[in-house]
Amino acid sequence: MAHKKDTNSKDTSRTFQPAKNKKPLHKHTEEALNEYFRSLNGDRPGDLYDLVIGEVERPLFKAVLDYTQGNQSQAAGILGINRGTLRKKLRTYSLIQ
């Protein structure tokens, strides 16, 4: 059974709880970042924030659009952002024209 979150709620204190024996998303993110830093061999990264946001936002928007079967209003509601903001981001990542 799918869990539906109230899209009007702005409660950010709750975190996604995966099924038993599944790793939460933040742990995957932490591991990926640790691996990224190890791969730098002591070099200092530049624009890391923009890099990470870009790497996360694009698949996030694509997954939510797929989930809503392309309905941008529903996708914006799920994401908790304005539809105009969503459309701008979708164009940025070439997910729409």
Q: DSSP labels for the chain?
A: ------TT----S----PPTT---HHHHHHHHHHHHHHHTTTPPPSSHHHHHHHHHHHHHHHHHHHHTTT-HHHHHHHHTS-HHHHHHHHHHTTS--
Domains parsed from the chain with CATH numbers: 46-97 (1.10.10.60)
Q: Is the pLDDT of residue 6 over 50?
A: no
pLDDT for res 13: 44
Q: Is the pLDDT of residue 4 over 50?
A: no
Mean pLDDT computed over 58-86: 97
Could you read off the pLDDT of 17-36 as tens digits, one per residue? Answer: 556 778 898 999 999 999 99
Tell me how far apart the alpha carbons of residues 55 and 37 are, in angstroms, rounded to a whole number.
Answer: 15
